[in-house]
Copies of this chain bind each other. A is one copy, B any other.
Amino acid sequence: MKSFHEILRESREKNGLLLREVSSKLQIDQALISKFESGNRKPTRAQVIQLARYYDTDKEELLVQWMSEKVVYELRNEEFADEILKVAEQKMRYLSKSKNEKA
């Protein structure tokens, strides 16, 4: 499975772009973008969207990758991470159900 930062780097390379080009176009420090691509920093949501646009890649997919890694990161030291995710899913289902019932 490809990680978010790998996808980011590959997308840039597919477009034959240099870091400094992306940097100047999107007004994001080149060092930051480099860190995004090495996985040392997480971009903000707005940056993910900017990048997806500029690389002409699927925005939703990139956002899903980005967000799911944030979740995984949060659970990195959790002994019961798998159970936590299961319970989170249940809670989500419950929420969307009561949301629908209201409507």
Q: Give the size of the chain A interface in residues (CB under 8 angstroms).
A: 30
Number of copies: 2
6 closest A-B pairs by beta carbon, nearest first, are A68-B87, A68-B88, A71-B88, A67-B84, A68-B84, A72-B91
Interface residues in A61-77 (C-beta closer than 8 Å to B):
63-65, 67-72, 74-75
- Decide yes or no whether A56 CB sits under 8 A from chain B: no
Report the separation of the CA atoms of residues A95 and B77 in the bound assembly, to the nearest whole angstrom. Answer: 12
Write out the residue numbers on chain B whose beta carbons fall within 8 Å of the beta carbon of A91: 1, 3, 68-69, 72
User: Which residues of A pack against B, CB within 8 Å?
Assistant: 1, 3, 60, 63-65, 67-72, 74-75, 78-85, 87-92, 94-95
